Chain A
Amino acid sequence: MQDVEMDKVRILTGSDNVIEMQDIWKTYPDGTTALQAINVVIERNEFVYIVGPSGAGKSTFMKLIYREEVPTKGQISVNGFNIGKLKQRKIPYVRRNIGVIFQDYKLLPKLSAYENVAFAMEVIETPSRAIRRRTMEVLELVGLKHKAGSLPAQLSGGEQQRIAIARAIVNNPAVIVADEPTGNLDPETSWGIMKLLEEINFRGTTIVMATHNKEIVNTLRKRVIAIEKGSISRDEPRGEYGYEN
C-alpha cells in the first residue's frame, strides 16, 4: 500500500528525485548554525559522497534525510514526501524507505546476526514467512549466510558492518544513508564494504554516504558534494575528495 501511495506522489510531482532540499537552514537550540541555504537534488539510483571537514555539517545533512532532525527553514522531500511538514504518526512510514548505516554499526548485542536483520522486518509487522525468506536472502547478499547464528561480539568489525548493511536494505528502501560506514575499518575491509554498497547501488538503491576516506572517494569515482561551514562548497559529478587527511 505504501508503494502505491509513493507512486501516486511521484506521478503528481512528475519527479524522479529521491532527495530534494530547497533553501535548507538548520540552527540548533544552542544557537549554532549547522547548515545554511542548502539546495540539493539527488536523483534515483545516484551514488553520492558527502565530504568536508569535521563539524562542517555533514552529520546534520544526513540526519535531515532520515528525519532525525527537522530543518529550521526550507523544504526537504525524501521519496516524494515533504518530510519537514510530515505528521508525527506518518514518520515511521517514511523511514521504511530509508536505510541507515552508522560508523559504529548499532547492532543489538544480545541478538544473533540473523535476529538483528529480522528485527527490522519484525517491527514493521512483516509476516514471519516473508521475514525468514528475505533475511536469508540479504544475509547471502552480504556474504554472511554462514554466520547467521553468531552474536555481534563473535564477528569482526567488517562482518558487523555487513550485518548492519543487511539490516538497512532488508526492507527494500529507496535510499541508503551511510554515515562514515568505513570509519572504524581497515583499508582492506573498507573496500569490501564499498564493493557491497556499489552492488546495492547497481540493484537500484540510491546511496548517500558521508566519508573521510580520501582513497575511496578518489578511486571509486562518484558524485561528490562538499560541505564547508554549513554550506555546499562543491558539487561535482565525478569529483575528488579535495582535502588532505
Chain B
Amino acid sequence: MKISTVARHFREGAKNVGRNGWMSFASISSIAVSLFILGVFMLLALNVNKLADQLDNQVQISVYLETDTDQPKIENVERLIKRIPEVKSVTFVSKAEGLARFRESMGEDGKQALEGYDDENNPLPDSFEVEAFNPQQIAFVAKQIEAINESDPDKPVKRVRYGKGTIETLFSITNGVRNIGLFIVLGLAVMAMFLISTTIKMTILARRREIGIMKLVGATNSFIRWPFFIEGALIGFSGSAAAAAGLLIGYSQLVIKTNHSMGLYMLQLSTFDEVKWLVGGTILALGTLLGVWGSTISIRKHLRV
C-alpha cells in the first residue's frame, strides 16, 4: 500500500470517529471503563504475587518442643520431620538462640521487657524452624508434624505454629479475586466490543452512498474496508490510552501514599517501574484489538462487497 493511501485511510478513519461523535464517545468510554477495571485486577494480582513472595520468607513452620524433651528425642523428631518429602529444610533453634533472636526482633522496646532473663530462667522452649519447598504445602506439612507427635507416646511437640490464617486466606482471596475479576472484565469487554461494532455500523450506514459509488468506480474491497478498521482501532486505542493513563497515574500516587504504612509491616507494593510496561502495554494492545475486532464484526455484517 502506498503511503498516500495509508494516510488517506487514517484521515477517513479519524473523520468517521468525529462524524459519530456521541457514539464514538460512548464506545471510547466503555472501552476505558472495562480496561480500567481489568487494570485494577492486574495490579491487584501483581501485588498479591509480590506479597506472596515477600511472605515466603515469613512462611515457615515453628515447631515448639516441650521443655523437658531430651536430646535423643529431639534428634529423633528432627529425623522424622526431615523424612516428610515436602520439607526443604529443618533448623534446630535452641532456647538460648531463641531468646537472643527474640531480643533482637523486639529492638529497643524489648530490651527492658526482656531484662532479667538469661540462660538460667529462659522461658522459651527449644524449637525447629521447618521450611517447605512450596508455600502452598505449609498447611499439609504442619499436619504431618502433628501426626508425628500423635504417634509418639511422649508427645514431645508442644505446639506447631505457622501463619495459618494469612497464607491460606491470601491464596483463597487471590483465586477468588481472579475469577470474579475475569468474569467482570470479560462481560465488560464483550459489551465494549458490541458498542464499537454498533458505532461502526452507523458509520457504514451513514456512508452507504459513498461506499456504493466507490464500488461502482472499482475501489477494491480492502480499500473500502480499511477506514472502518482504523476507526475501530482508533476508538479502542483512545479508550485504552485513557484507561492506562488513569491507572498508572493513580497507581503511582498509591505507591507514594502507602509506602510508609506498608513499610511498617515489612511489605512493599510493586513499584511503578515494575508494572508500567506490563499493565500499560497489555491494556493498549487489548483495547486496540477489541476495537479492530468490533469493527470486523460490523464490516462482515454490513459491508458485503
A binding-site residues for B, Cβ under 8 Å:
66, 88-89, 92-96, 100, 106, 108, 119-120, 122-125, 127-128, 167, 171
10 further interface pairs, Cβ-Cβ under 8 Å (given A127-B4, A128-B4): A92-B221, A93-B218, A106-B213, A108-B210, A123-B219, A123-B224, A124-B217, A125-B2, A125-B223, A171-B218
Report A-chain residues with C-beta under 8 Å of the C-beta of B4: 127-128
B158 CB-CB contact with A under 8 Å: no
Number of A-B contacts (CB under 8 A): 49
The residue in chain A whose Cβ has the minimal distance to the Cβ of B212 is A106
Residue with the highest number of chain B CB atoms closer than 10 Å, among A119, A122, A123? A123
B209 CB-CB contact with A under 8 Å: yes
Interface contact A108-B213, CB-CB below 8 Å: yes
Interface contact B217-A95, CB-CB below 8 Å: yes
| CA distance in complex: A100, B214 (Å) | 12
The residue in chain B whose Cβ has the minimal distance to the Cβ of A110 is B210
A171's partner among B209, B210, B214, B217 (CB-CB below 8 A) is B217
Report B-chain residues with C-beta under 8 Å of the C-beta of A120: 213, 217
Interface contact A92-B220, CB-CB below 8 Å: yes
| CA distance in complex: A93, B214 (Å) | 12
The residue in chain B whose Cβ has the minimal distance to the Cβ of A2 is B218
| B195-222 residues at the A interface, CB under 8 angstroms | 209-210, 212-221
Known: A66-B216, A108-B210. A89 touches B8 (CB 8 A): no
The residue in chain A whose Cβ has the minimal distance to the Cβ of B2 is A125
| CA distance in complex: A120, B220 (Å) | 12
Interface contact A167-B217, CB-CB below 8 Å: yes
Interface contact A100-B218, CB-CB below 8 Å: no
| CA distance in complex: A128, B8 (Å) | 11
Interface contact A100-B216, CB-CB below 8 Å: yes
Interface contact B221-A119, CB-CB below 8 Å: no
Report A-chain residues with C-beta under 8 Å of the C-beta of B209: 106, 108
Interface contact A96-B218, CB-CB below 8 Å: yes
The residue in chain A whose Cβ has the minimal distance to the Cβ of B222 is A89
Report A-chain residues with C-beta under 8 Å of the C-beta of B218: 92-96, 123-124, 171
Interface string of B1-38 (1 = CB under 8 A from A): 01011001000000000000000000000000000000
The smallest C-beta distance from B4 to any residue of chain A, in angstroms, reads 6
The smallest C-beta distance from B2 to any residue of chain A, in angstroms, reads 6
Interface residues on B, range: 10 to 19
| CA distance in complex: A123, B226 (Å) | 12
Interface contact A96-B221, CB-CB below 8 Å: no
The residue in chain A whose Cβ has the minimal distance to the Cβ of B223 is A123
| CA distance in complex: A225, B224 (Å) | 36
B binding-site residues for A, Cβ under 8 Å:
2, 4-5, 8, 209-210, 212-221, 223-224, 305
The smallest C-beta distance from A94 to any residue of chain B, in angstroms, reads 8
Report B-chain residues with C-beta under 8 Å of the C-beta of A119: 213, 217
Interface contact B8-A122, CB-CB below 8 Å: yes
| CA distance in complex: A171, B215 (Å) | 14
Listed A/B pairs (23) with beta-carbon separation below 8 Å = A88-B221, A88-B305, A89-B220, A89-B221, A92-B215, A92-B218, A92-B219, A92-B221, A94-B218, A96-B217, A106-B213, A108-B209, A108-B213, A119-B213, A123-B214, A123-B217, A123-B219, A124-B218, A124-B220, A124-B223, A125-B2, A127-B4, A167-B217
Report A-chain residues with C-beta under 8 Å of the C-beta of B215: 92, 95
The smallest C-beta distance from B18 to any residue of chain A, in angstroms, reads 14
The smallest C-beta distance from B78 to any residue of chain A, in angstroms, reads 77
Interface contact B221-A95, CB-CB below 8 Å: no
The smallest C-beta distance from A62 to any residue of chain B, in angstroms, reads 12
The smallest C-beta distance from B181 to any residue of chain A, in angstroms, reads 43
Report A-chain residues with C-beta under 8 Å of the C-beta of B219: 92, 123-124
Residue with the highest number of chain B CB atoms closer than 10 Å, among A100, A106, A125, A128? A125
The 6 closest A-B pairs by CB, nearest first: A96-B218, A123-B219, A95-B218, A120-B217, A92-B218, A92-B220
The residue in chain B whose Cβ has the minimal distance to the Cβ of A99 is B217
| CA distance in complex: A95, B220 (Å) | 10
| CA distance in complex: A89, B305 (Å) | 9
Report A-chain residues with C-beta under 8 Å of the C-beta of B305: 88
Report B-chain residues with C-beta under 8 Å of the C-beta of A93: 218
Residue with the highest number of chain A CB atoms closer than 10 Å, among B213, B214, B223? B213
The smallest C-beta distance from A74 to any residue of chain B, in angstroms, reads 23
Report A-chain residues with C-beta under 8 Å of the C-beta of B224: 123
Interface contact A125-B217, CB-CB below 8 Å: no
| CA distance in complex: A157, B140 (Å) | 89
Report A-chain residues with C-beta under 8 Å of the C-beta of B5: 125
| CA distance in complex: A125, B214 (Å) | 12
Interface contact A95-B223, CB-CB below 8 Å: no
The smallest C-beta distance from A117 to any residue of chain B, in angstroms, reads 10
The residue in chain A whose Cβ has the minimal distance to the Cβ of B220 is A92
